[in-house]
Structure 1
Amino acid sequence: MARLPITIATWDYDRVRPLLDGRVTVEGCEVNYLPMPVEECFHRAYFHGEFDVAEIGFSPFLIALSRGIAPYVALPVFLSRTFRHSAIYIRNDRGIASAADLRGKRIGLPEYQMSAVLWVRGFLKDEYGIEAADIDWVQGGLEQYGRKDKFPLNLPPGFPLSSAPEGRSLSSLLANGELDAVISARAPSCLIDGHPKVRRLYPDYRAVEQAYYARTGLFPIMHALGVRQDLAQAHPWLPSSLYKAFAQAKEIAERDLREVTALKIGLPWVTAELESTEAVMGRDFWPYGVDANRKTLEAMTRYSYEQGLAVRQLGVDELFAASTLDPVHI
C-alpha cells in the first residue's frame, strides 16, 4: 500500500530531530520535513495553508476553534513551552519595581493574541489583580513594522489596544521612552545592545519562574502540533500516527539529556541542569498528552476567554483530535 505523502513544518527542536534524521518515522506516511523559525511557520501555515502538519501557536488556535474556523486539528504535542516572566522588558526610569507596577503602564506587544502575552496577562490577573483593560497596549512588530493578528479578537468597545506608529518598531519605541515596557518572546534589540534604561523586570527570572511553578503547577504551553482538518477527516488514523511518532522522538531527546558517559548536549553541566529541573518539576517535566496537562490547559482556555480572545469558554476535551484523548497503553 502506498504511503501518504505529508509535509511537516516545525522549528528544529531536539524533540523533533529524530523525525528529521529518520530515526523515527510516521506510520503510513512519506514525510517531507521542513524545519523553519516559528514566526515563518505560523505565517505560512495560518495565512497560506502551505503545510499538511505544522507547529501552531496555541493561543491563536484557541481563538479560531472558538469561532469554528480552525484550519488545523490540534494534537497534544506541545513542541514549545516556556515560562514567560523572562519575557517582560521595562524602562528602569518609570518606577516599575515589580509586576504590580505594570498597572496603568503603556506596554508594547507583537500580537495581543500571542501565547507568550496571554500567559503574562494571566499571571498578572491571578497574582496581582491586574485586568487586561488596566494596561494601555500597543501592538506592533518587535523589530520591524507590520506584524498582524492571525484571527479576529473579541475585545469590548473602547478596550485600550492601539497599533504602533507606522514605520516604528516596539524596540525603538521602548528605547526612546515612548513605551514603559514590552512583552515579547524575543528580547528587543535595545536590550541586547545594552541600552542603559532598558532591563528585564526579573533579572533573576529563573528563581521567579521556579517559584511560580511551585505555587501553581503550571508550565506554560506556547505551541502545539496541528494537522489540516481535511487531511485528518480523510485519514482518521493520521492524528494517532503523528502523536505516536512525536512522542517517540521526544523520548529519544530525553534519553540524550540523560547520557553522561559522553555528553550529547554541548553544555558542561547539562546533567546538573537536568537534575535541578527535575528537583523542581519532576522527572516528566515536559509531558505530552491531555491528562498530564489538564491543569495548564484549563488555565489557558480560561485566560483566552477572560482576555477577549476566544468567543466562548472552551472545554479541554474539545481541543484535540478525539483519537489522541485516549492513547493506547500496552
Structure 2
Amino acid sequence: MNKLNLSVAIGNYDRCRPLIDGAVQIDGVNPIFMTLSPEEIFFRAFRGEEFDICELSLSSSTVKTAAGTLPYVGVPVFLSRAFRHTAIYVRTDRIRKPEDLRGCRIGLPEYQLTANVWVRSFLEDDHGVKPSDVTWVRGGISHAGRPEKIRLDLPPNVKLEDAPEGETISSLLAKGEIDAYVAPRAPDVAPGTPNVGWLYPDPVAAAQDYFRRTCIFPIMHILGVRRELAEQHPWLPGAVYKAFNESKSVALAHLGETSATKITLPFAEERLKEARELMGEDFWSYGVDGNRHVLDKFFDHHHRQGLSSRLVTPEDLFHPGTFESFKL
C-alpha cells in the first residue's frame, strides 16, 4: 500500500516531538509536519480547511459539531490541557475575590475560546458568578480589532460588546477601563504595571483544590482529521490516535529519566512527582475512556453558555475508530 502524503499542523510540544523527529510513525502515512501557533492553526483550519490532520480548538469544534458543519472528525488526542486559574487577571485595586466580578466589565479576545468556557464554568460553579452577571468586552490581546473566528448566536442575557476602536483588552486593563481580563495568554502590559495581577493570588493552589474536588484536568485542544479523508480511509483516525499516544509515552519516559534533565527548568523531577501524586500516573491521558466526565462537563457548560445549539456528546465529536484499541 502506498502511504498517504498528509499535512499535519500541530504545536511544537514535547509530547509530539517523537512524531516530528520521526522516532514514532503514523501507520500508512508520510506526514508533512508544520509546527505553528494554535491561533494560526485554528484560523486556517476553520476558515480554509487547509490541513489534513491538525490541532483544533475544543470549543470551536463543539460549536461546529452542534451545527453539523465541522469539516474534521475528532480524535481524542488532547494536545493542550491546562488549569485556567492563571488566565484571569484583574484590577487588584478593586477586585479582591471572584465574587467581586459581578457587575464588572471583563475583557476577552474571543467569547468562544475554550479557555474562556472553562473559566466561566468554574466562576459559576465555584463562585456563583454567571456569564450574564458581567459585561464582556471583546478585543485583541496585542492587536486591536480581533474578530470571533466563527459566528455565534448568544443568549439575549449575555452582554458582549467590542472594545473601542484602536484599543486592546490589554490597554483597557492597564488603564482601568475594564475590571478584569480572561485569555489563554497574559495581558500585553508593561512589567510592573500597577494594580494588574492574578485574580487568584496562588493559582496553583486554586487549581489543585479544583482537581481534588472535581477530578477534572481541563481539555483545551483536540486533534482532527479532515472528514473526507476519514471517509475515504476509515483506518486513518485510529492510526493517528495510536501514533500520538505512543509519542506521548515516549516523551513522558524521557521526562522521567533523571540522569540529565530534559527540559530547561530546575525541579522538573519534583514537579513530575507532585503531578503524579495528585493526578495519577497517566495524568495527561488521551482517549474518551477516563476523560468522559471532563468532556461532559465542558459540553454542558458550552451549551448552557449559548455557544452550542444543542448538547454535544463525545460520540458526536470523535471518530468511532478512536474509542477503543486492541489489547494483548
Aligned pairs for 1:229-308 within 5 A: 229-308=227-306
Q: Is the 8 A contact 1:256 1:265 kept in 2?
A: no
Task: State how far apart, in whole Å, the 2-side matches of 1:7 and 1:246 are.
Answer: 15
Please identify, of 158-167 and 16-25, the stretch whose mean Cα deviation from structure 2 is larger.
158-167
Structure 2 SS opposite 1:39: helix
Identify the residue that residue 165 of structure 1 maps to in structure 2. 164
Query: Percent identity, aligned pairs only?
Result: 47
Identify the residue that residue 130 of structure 1 maps to in structure 2. 129
Please identify, of 195-204 and 28-37, the stretch whose mean Cα deviation from structure 2 is larger.
195-204
Identify the residue that residue 60 of structure 2 maps to in structure 1. 60
Identify the residue that residue 73 of structure 1 maps to in structure 2. 73
Q: CA deviation at 1:167?
A: 1.6
Structure 2 SS opposite 1:133: helix
Task: State how far apart, in whole Å, the 2-side matches of 1:197 and 1:11 are.
Answer: 33
Q: Is the 8 A contact 1:9 1:34 kept in 2?
A: yes
The residue type paired with residue 273 of structure 2 is E
Task: State how far apart, in whole Å, the 1-side matches of 2:289 and 2:244 are.
Answer: 17
Residue deviations 1:98-141, cap 9 Å, x none?
11111111000011000000000001111122211111001111
CA RMSD in angstroms, aligned pairs only:
1.1
Structure 2 SS opposite 1:275: helix
TM-score computed with the length of structure 2 as normaliser: 0.98
Aligned residues: 328
Please identify, of 165-174 and 9-18, the stretch whose mean Cα deviation from structure 2 is larger.
165-174
Q: Is the 8 A contact 2:65 2:316 kept in 1?
A: no
Aligned pairs for 1:185-196 within 5 A: 185-190=184-189, 193-196=191-194
Q: Is the 8 A contact 1:133 1:159 kept in 2?
A: yes
Task: State how far apart, in whole Å, the 1-side matches of 2:53 and 2:103 are.
Answer: 41
The residue type paired with residue 289 of structure 1 is G
Task: State how far apart, in whole Å, the 1-side matches of 2:146 and 2:233 are.
Answer: 35
Q: Is the 8 A contact 1:72 1:226 kept in 2?
A: yes
Identify the residue that residue 180 of structure 2 maps to in structure 1. 181
Structure 2 SS opposite 1:215: helix
Q: CA deviation at 1:253?
A: 0.7
Residue deviations 1:230-268, cap 9 Å, x none?
111111110011000100000001101110122222223
Task: State how far apart, in whole Å, the 2-side matches of 1:108 and 1:329 are.
Answer: 48
Q: CA deviation at 1:158?
A: 5.1
Identify the residue that residue 39 of structure 2 maps to in structure 1. 39
Q: CA deviation at 1:278?
A: 1.1
Q: CA deviation at 1:50?
A: 1.1
The residue type paired with residue 85 of structure 1 is H
Q: Is the 8 A contact 1:87 1:185 kept in 2?
A: yes
Task: State how far apart, in whole Å, the 2-side matches of 1:323 and 1:121 are.
Answer: 32
Identify the residue that residue 216 of structure 2 maps to in structure 1. 218
Identify the residue that residue 5 of structure 1 maps to in structure 2. 5
Identify the residue that residue 110 of structure 1 maps to in structure 2. 109
Residue deviations 1:292-313, cap 9 Å, x none?
1011000000011000100001
Task: State how far apart, in whole Å, the 1-side matches of 2:156 and 2:302 are.
Answer: 17
The residue type paired with residue 103 of structure 2 is G
For residue 206 of structure 1, the aligned residue among 189, 204, 207 is 204
Residue deviations 1:77-110, cap 9 Å, x none?
000000001100001122x111111111100001
TM-score computed with the length of structure 1 as normaliser: 0.97
